[in-house]
């Protein structure tokens, strides 16, 4: 991948999320996010195939349910602990369209607190 390519994706995500791309010279691996944002720590990864067919199917199902119910589609994932008793890991994913709906909802409603307070 060319430098221009991943930099362009970092700029894209910064714009979409309302943040600012942090130049590589301003960060060390792992301790500073790719995108400076008010309350998100954004790490951008670019690959040809980052999403598995299972994830794609789950997102399609969430979209169908969201359309049918008038709600925002979200997929919740649990990766169970493997052998050796490691703890399960949990994730929540949604596509960019859903993120925009969530952001719009948050912007329209004053909850009187910061998400990190």
**74-102: pLDDT as tens digits:** 998 888 876 766 788 888 888 888 888 88
What is the chain's Cα-based Rg?
A: 17
Which residues are within 8 A (CB) of 43 and not within 5 positions of it... i.e. 6 or more apart?
A: 33, 34
Tell me which DSSP letter residue 48 carries.
S
Residue 26 has pLDDT above 70, yes or no: no
If asked whether residues 94 and 65 sit together in one domain, one would say: yes
Residue 29 has pLDDT above 80, yes or no: no
If asked whether residues 21 and 66 sit together in one domain, one would say: no
Residue 25 has pLDDT above 80, yes or no: no
Top-confidence range, 65-69, 96-100, 112-116: 65-69
If asked whether residues 57 and 108 sit together in one domain, one would say: yes
| CB-based contact 88:81 (threshold 8 Å) | yes
pLDDT mean across residues, the chain: 82
Count of CB atoms situated within 10 Å of the CB of 21: 21
The parent domain of residue 21 ranges over: 1-49
Average pLDDT estimate for 29-38: 82
């Amino acid at each position: 991948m060319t430098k221009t390519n991943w930099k362009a994706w970092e700029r894209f995500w910064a714009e979409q999320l309302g943040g600012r791309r942090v130049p590589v010279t301003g960060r060390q691996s792992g301790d500073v996010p790719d995108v400076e944002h008010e309350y998100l720590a954004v790490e951008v990864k670019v690959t040809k195939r980052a999403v598995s067919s299972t994830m794609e199917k789950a997102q399609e199902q969430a979209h169908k349910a969201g359309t049918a119910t008038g709600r925002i589609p979200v997929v919740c994932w649990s990766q169970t602990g493997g052998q050796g008793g490691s703890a399960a890991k949990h994730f929540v994913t949604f596509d960019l369209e859903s993120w925009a709906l969530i952001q719009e909802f948050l912007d329209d409603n004053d909850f009187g607190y910061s998400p990190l307070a």
